[in-house]
Chains A and B, each alone.
Chain A
Amino acid sequence: MPVMEGKELRIVGFLCNWCSYGSADTAGVARAWQPTDLRIIRVPCSGRVDPLFIVKSLLNGADGVLVAGCHPRDCHYSAGNFYARRRLEVLKRFLPVLGINDARFEYTWISASEGQRWQQMVTSFTNRIHALGPAPRFENATPLPKVVGMALPPSSRPLGTGKNAPLDDLKQGIKEKLPDLECVIGWQRGYDGVHTAPLFMKIPEDVEKLVWGPFNVANPAVYLPKFKGKKVGIVVKGCDSRSVVELLQEHLVAREDVTIFALPCQGTLDMSRVKEKLGRYTVVDNVVCDETEVIITVDGKKHRLPMNDFAQVKCRLCTKPMAVFADTPLGESPEVEIATHVPPELALLDAMNLDERMAYWSGQITRCLRCYACRNACPMCVCRDYCVSDSRDPRWMTQEADVTQKLFFQAIHALHLAGRCTGCGECQRACPVGIPILALRQQIARTVEELFDDYRAGFDPAAVPPLLSYEVEEKSIREREWK
């Protein structure tokens, strides 16, 4: 059923059964005339409104979405609206990074007796949406080329190859603990000298295969949940350890089951830059690590790769190169000055207006193959075989390969990571077509930091994640100022 051609816009309302739906009824009983654009979906509680319903509506043609619940403290279920407030506020600050005007989404509180206020609210929101006009749609676009040469932020610390890291001490430490452990996860040499592969050490001979250095790009924490309930060891860089902290926080691994081995990390290579530098090659002849640069000889040609130019962006911004905690702390944690540079993927979007962002995402996401490498590489994607992206019950997504489905999956991933993403960047690194999807997670992380007392995921296994808690009076959310 189409909307009234040219007259009405598509506005979806999610109203809680107890207060807001009642206020709409009260307005009706009082014959409080309202614009006819809004279509109300009744839900038990504003806490039931998954932010993804709103994203789905907006990606699929809604011009505006309004969520209404009981006033804070009046929730029929005590606290549903408090949780909703946090989640919806995060969503509101997330939409613009996709190129969706956040004025198209609003949430508010209204009690069953406030029929008149409901009338005013519907009228003003409808007028607002009409002033904005029909929402632009994401369309299948000509694929944009990969973004290359993003400006690198200055490094917060000296970067190096980790050549002098006490690897032998670490190996010795692992060998000592190995008899008590099912296995220890680490890295080994990959199919050539510039790649590493995951290593699962079970016997002392395996330990000798362990490597440490700038090629250890992958996050081994992704394998950890599979060992739930078993004694397991893991070798981590600082960033990997934050994923381990998150898994501990979510009880997906138990602290007593996991032994953490760590070395201070001096940075790892941005493999896409390395690939660019090396060009097409057949054989890697030699790889030598100097203190601050890697010298790679391929097909007889020598390439010098200074870590300062070739380290991953996350390593340049890293403030904690040592594990958050470890069972065998090896080496001193270097002092790092706290830099607060916006990551380049996000800075790129910050500089764009909404239309430009929409065009950017349409063009970038069109390249997506829906291979889900991003999901599989993410250590926090713990749903695995039961990811909602390939399920019929619940059926959040269809199998169509259009831009809205692809972008919706990225929104699902980003919002499911809210307050959990440690910014390890594995999703983006794993993307075979090089879509800069990390920006979406970075925006969520930035929002969570802004809203919830600088909360950053991955530092405290005992912390209550901000989206699983609430404050009766939120310090940084001013939703009731909206009229």
Chain B
Amino acid sequence: MRIGVFICHCGSNIAGTVDCTKVAEIAKKFPDVVYTAEPMYTCAEPGQTAMEDAIHEYRLDGVVVASCSPRMHEATFRRTVERAGLNRYMFEMANIREHVSWIGKEKDANTNKAAELVEIAVAKLRNNRPLTAKTFDVTKKVLIAGGGVAGIQSALDCADGGVPVILVERESTIGGKMAKLDKTFPTVDCSACILGPKMVDVAQHPNITLHAYSEIEDVSGYVGNFSVKIRKLATYVDWEKCTGCGVCSEKCPSKKTPDAFNEFTGTTTAVSISFPQAIPKKAVINARHCRQLTKGKCGVCAKFCPTGAIDYAMQDSIVTEEVGCIIAATGYDLMDWTVYREYGGGAYPDVITSLQYERLLSSSGPTGGHLIRPSDGGEPQNVVFVQCVGSRDKSIGRPQCSAFCCMYTAKQAVLTKEHLPESQSYVFYMDIRAPGKMYDEFTRRAMEEYGVEYIRGRVSAIYPDGLGQYVVMGSDTLLGEPVEIKADLVVLAVGIEAARGTRALAEKLRISYDKSGFFMESHVKLKPVETNTAGVFLAGVCQGAKDIPASVAQGSAAAAKVMALFARDKLENNPQIAFVDLRRCVGCGKCIRCCPFGAIKEKDIRGETKAQVIETVCQGCGLCTSTCPQGAAQLSHATDNQILAEVNALCR
């Protein structure tokens, strides 16, 4: 090989504490090094031009640049060597700035260390091979998992951009949590009025195929070419025929069915449409409460259905969709707050969750928007709001903030006053977190205009006083004294967690999730929408707690990512992926078992089982290489020989 080594001065950043001339002198003696130079700034245009000239003049076939971190300029220099006609992988970097000149004070030691880092780089480069990317086709179709406001936004943006969308929703209607809300902060506008039109757009958009009451069964494939199996759960109603007239629900005799849409604040019928604005507006039979399905006797809905849509024999069915990208927008659930025994553990009818309170406030809710106590139907006088129930509480292993409770609690307190002007609201809070646009103004208004009393402190116990009210015991940490308030109704701002089934979905999508179960983004700051699996993007609360505007923004961001990816007809893979030396492979399958991406499959080659890397799926972690005992699986650009060369340069 003919290797050129460029020892960058980086102004005085490196040259200040490293004797670059000496490093260059030492580097000249390394095997295959035929040229050394000491540019002032290698990354600047003159530096890059000089490098290109040197490659031509000295017929270099490999380049080492000793300068800053490869995380900074590896891509830059790879392009430079490529312009000069070399393969971009015939290039190595020695990090003598972040790892040497900036952290070591002694010039001799730094110089020595810099020379060694160059030696490692040269040793590795001598084992490098040119690598080329391969191209493959893209299926320009996106699947969105979750039809909450984030998923709806992604779906509409993609569909408007001309991308066919498959929207999968687990419930019988899209709308998610937002559909359950009465009003939204900080404008106090009606949730259904702003979400409803978007839901209708989803139903009517020619580019959107909606699979409601469906779950993702299995995901295979890779960016550009995913194959997703969708399980359509049995609704026992043929949606092709159902017109959403609601006669079945009217006639259904099983009237005590728990109403999940209303957060169990009321009851519904065994066959029902979850709410009037549901999309799709189709009936579903709750199999656990339907008399026909549990006892085999009834059949009332089938008798009355004008279109004959009822089908008691319906089974789950599987449909397969081929897509190029997937957006996960699976949202959240409230945590199980009954672990708080001191708040009654769910035993007191008038201690309810904030989401239940939304349903009581809502005019489409079980009380028709009339604010009453669930226990006796009376109008509450004193309403106490308790924040951070299951948020920021290390004692139950939930240290994270749920982000939007402060705001909706203020909104609910405001709405309470509007519903019942005589009422008095109290809010127990830890800190008021209102950093959004118009947010702090809104909480101020709650306090100042609506007379909501904010008490800084946690609630230690809630118990009935035996006279129909509840005693809420807490402390006011600002005054430093205990507080007791008699409440007619207590609303808990229950902390959120990733929606049920999130972990299972993460495994199917081969993405990671954090301690609380929320999906991990690729980079906390710079890649908040991407995941570590190419072609899988995140939108909404499934990635972490956020309010409606942020969810919508992320929904649009995910759509933009999808469309940017689909702007190309062909995708290029990263050539730094694993390959299998078929002669060495004995087909033991250890690599297949531990590959985090399912990127290795068994292949029959002339009657023998061998491992084969699916080039488009492999992400280049190299786990297979360190697993394969006979060294058959090798990660390009970090092969055993390349790393061994580095080790040998250091230890001998």
Q: Could you list which residues of chain A lie within 8 angstroms of chain B, going by C-beta atoms?
A: 1, 3-4, 7-8, 10, 12, 17, 21-22, 24-25, 27-29, 31-34, 36, 39-45, 47-51, 53, 56-57, 60-62, 73-80, 83, 87, 119, 225, 229, 250-252, 382-384, 386-388, 391, 393-396, 416, 464, 468-469
Contact A77 B596, beta carbon cutoff 8 Å: yes
CB distance from A93 to the nearest CB of B (A): 18
Interface residues of B in 620-647 (CB under 8 A from A): 620-623, 625-627, 629-632, 634-635, 638-641, 643-644, 646-647
Contact A73 B512, beta carbon cutoff 8 Å: yes
Contact B109 A78, beta carbon cutoff 8 Å: no
Indicate whether A28 sits within 8 Å of B71 (C-beta atoms), given known contacts A56-B647, A394-B641.
Answer: no
Chain B residues contacting A12 (CB-CB under 8 Å) are 647, 650-651
Task: Tell me if B205 counts as interface (CB < 8 A to partner A).
Answer: no
Out of B99, B588, B621, name the residue touching A28 (CB < 8 Å).
B99
Contact B520 A77, beta carbon cutoff 8 Å: no
Contact A386 B106, beta carbon cutoff 8 Å: no
Contact B650 A39, beta carbon cutoff 8 Å: yes
CB distance from A400 to the nearest CB of B (A): 12
CB distance from A332 to the nearest CB of B (A): 35
The 3 nearest A-B residue pairs measured at CB: A28-B98, A48-B622, A394-B640
Task: Tell me if B112 counts as interface (CB < 8 A to partner A).
Answer: yes
Contact B625 A251, beta carbon cutoff 8 Å: no
Task: Tell me if B115 counts as interface (CB < 8 A to partner A).
Answer: yes
CB distance from A472 to the nearest CB of B (A): 9
CB distance from A140 to the nearest CB of B (A): 16
Chain A residues contacting B515 (CB-CB under 8 Å) are 73
Contact A8 B109, beta carbon cutoff 8 Å: yes
> What's the A-B contact tally at a CB cutoff of 8 Å?
204
Interface residues of B in 561-596 (CB under 8 A from A): 576, 583-584, 586-590, 593-594, 596
CB distance from A318 to the nearest CB of B (A): 27
CB distance from B261 to the nearest CB of A (A): 34
CB distance from A470 to the nearest CB of B (A): 9
CB distance from B121 to the nearest CB of A (A): 10
Contact B112 A4, beta carbon cutoff 8 Å: yes
Chain B residues contacting A383 (CB-CB under 8 Å) are 584, 586, 629-630
Q: How far is the CA of A171 from the CA of B222 in the complex (A)?
A: 54
19 contacts between A and B (CB under 8 A): A21-B71, A25-B72, A28-B102, A36-B112, A40-B95, A41-B120, A41-B650, A43-B622, A44-B576, A44-B621, A48-B643, A53-B644, A74-B512, A77-B597, A83-B594, A83-B623, A382-B588, A383-B629, A384-B586
CB distance from A385 to the nearest CB of B (A): 9
Closest residue of chain B to A42 (Cβ to Cβ) is: B70
Task: Tell me if B445 counts as interface (CB < 8 A to partner A).
Answer: no
Q: How far is the CA of A386 from the CA of B607 in the complex (A)?
A: 19
CB distance from A390 to the nearest CB of B (A): 11
Out of B98, B112, B115, name the residue touching A24 (CB < 8 Å).
B98
Q: How far is the CA of A376 from the CA of B367 in the complex (A)?
A: 80
Out of A25, A29, A40, A388, name the residue touching B630 (CB < 8 Å).
A388
Indicate whether A33 sits within 8 Å of B623 (C-beta atoms), given known contacts A61-B651, A468-B593.
Answer: no
Out of B110, B589, B621, name the residue touching A80 (CB < 8 Å).
B621
Contact A50 B625, beta carbon cutoff 8 Å: yes
Chain B residues contacting A21 (CB-CB under 8 Å) are 69, 71
Out of B100, B116, B513, name the residue touching A1 (CB < 8 Å).
B116
Closest residue of chain A to B97 (Cβ to Cβ) is: A28
Q: How far is the CA of A1 from the CA of B109 in the complex (A)?
A: 12
Task: Tell me if B652 counts as interface (CB < 8 A to partner A).
Answer: yes
CB distance from A164 to the nearest CB of B (A): 39
Q: A3-B112, A386-B586, A388-B630 are in contact. List 13 more A-B contacts (CB 8 A).
A: A27-B98, A31-B102, A41-B646, A119-B103, A250-B588, A386-B584, A387-B630, A388-B629, A388-B640, A391-B631, A395-B640, A395-B641, A468-B593
CB distance from A119 to the nearest CB of B (A): 8
Chain B residues contacting A77 (CB-CB under 8 Å) are 532, 596-597, 619, 621, 623
CB distance from A480 to the nearest CB of B (A): 13
Chain A residues contacting B108 (CB-CB under 8 Å) are 4
Chain B residues contacting A53 (CB-CB under 8 Å) are 643-644, 647
Contact B621 A48, beta carbon cutoff 8 Å: yes
Q: How far is the CA of A416 from the CA of B100 in the complex (A)?
A: 36
CB distance from B563 to the nearest CB of A (A): 25
Chain A residues contacting B510 (CB-CB under 8 Å) are 78
Chain A residues contacting B113 (CB-CB under 8 Å) are 36, 39
Task: Tell me if B19 counts as interface (CB < 8 A to partner A).
Answer: no
Closest residue of chain A to B643 (Cβ to Cβ) is: A53
Closest residue of chain B to A5 (Cβ to Cβ) is: B112
Out of B106, B586, B626, B648, name the residue touching A48 (CB < 8 Å).
B626
Out of B620, B630, B651, name the residue touching A60 (CB < 8 Å).
B651
Task: Tell me if B169 counts as interface (CB < 8 A to partner A).
Answer: no
Task: Tell me if B117 counts as interface (CB < 8 A to partner A).
Answer: yes
Q: Could you list which residues of chain B lie within 8 angstroms of chain A, going by C-beta atoms?
A: 26, 69-72, 95, 97-100, 102-106, 108-110, 112-113, 115-117, 119-120, 510-515, 520, 532, 576, 583-584, 586-590, 593-594, 596-597, 607-609, 619-623, 625-627, 629-632, 634-635, 638-641, 643-644, 646-648, 650-652
Q: How far is the CA of A40 from the CA of B588 in the complex (A)?
A: 33
CB distance from A98 to the nearest CB of B (A): 16
Chain B residues contacting A74 (CB-CB under 8 Å) are 512, 520
Chain B residues contacting A34 (CB-CB under 8 Å) are 103-104
Closest residue of chain A to B522 (Cβ to Cβ) is: A76
Contact B593 A464, beta carbon cutoff 8 Å: yes
Contact A78 B511, beta carbon cutoff 8 Å: yes
Contact B589 A394, beta carbon cutoff 8 Å: no
Q: How far is the CA of A51 from the CA of B638 in the complex (A)?
A: 15
Contact B622 A75, beta carbon cutoff 8 Å: no
Closest residue of chain B to A247 (Cβ to Cβ) is: B588
Contact A1 B112, beta carbon cutoff 8 Å: yes
Q: Which of A3, A48, A229, A252 has the most CB of B within 10 A?
A: A48
Closest residue of chain B to A398 (Cβ to Cβ) is: B648
Contact A10 B638, beta carbon cutoff 8 Å: no
Out of A25, A32, A57, A76, name the residue touching B650 (CB < 8 Å).
A57
Contact B512 A57, beta carbon cutoff 8 Å: no
Q: How far is the CA of A43 from the CA of B647 in the complex (A)?
A: 12
Contact B115 A1, beta carbon cutoff 8 Å: yes
Contact B625 A80, beta carbon cutoff 8 Å: no
Contact A25 B98, beta carbon cutoff 8 Å: yes
Chain A residues contacting B639 (CB-CB under 8 Å) are 394
Q: How far is the CA of A287 from the CA of B512 in the complex (A)?
A: 65
Q: How far is the CA of A225 from the CA of B630 in the complex (A)?
A: 15
Closest residue of chain A to B507 (Cβ to Cβ) is: A78
Closest residue of chain B to A382 (Cβ to Cβ) is: B586
Closest residue of chain A to B627 (Cβ to Cβ) is: A468
Contact A44 B635, beta carbon cutoff 8 Å: yes
Contact A76 B532, beta carbon cutoff 8 Å: yes
Q: How far is the CA of A3 from the CA of B108 in the complex (A)?
A: 11
CB distance from A392 to the nearest CB of B (A): 9
Q: How far is the CA of A72 from the CA of B510 in the complex (A)?
A: 16
Chain A residues contacting B117 (CB-CB under 8 Å) are 39-40
Contact B651 A36, beta carbon cutoff 8 Å: no
Contact B26 A36, beta carbon cutoff 8 Å: no
Q: How far is the CA of A70 from the CA of B630 in the complex (A)?
A: 27
Contact B638 A43, beta carbon cutoff 8 Å: yes
Chain A residues contacting B72 (CB-CB under 8 Å) are 25
Contact B110 A36, beta carbon cutoff 8 Å: yes
Chain B residues contacting A384 (CB-CB under 8 Å) are 586
Indicate whether A80 sits within 8 Å of B98 (C-beta atoms), given known contacts A12-B651, A251-B587.
Answer: no
Q: How far is the CA of A250 from the CA of B651 in the complex (A)?
A: 35
Contact A43 B623, beta carbon cutoff 8 Å: no
Q: How far is the CA of A395 from the CA of B100 in the complex (A)?
A: 30
CB distance from B272 to the nearest CB of A (A): 40
CB distance from B490 to the nearest CB of A (A): 35
Contact B629 A41, beta carbon cutoff 8 Å: no
Contact A25 B621, beta carbon cutoff 8 Å: no
Chain A residues contacting B514 (CB-CB under 8 Å) are 73
Q: How far is the CA of A31 from the CA of B511 in the complex (A)?
A: 35
Chain A residues contacting B631 (CB-CB under 8 Å) are 386, 388, 391, 393-394, 396
Indicate whether A47 sits within 8 Å of B626 (C-beta atoms), given known contacts A78-B512, A83-B594, A395-B644.
Answer: yes
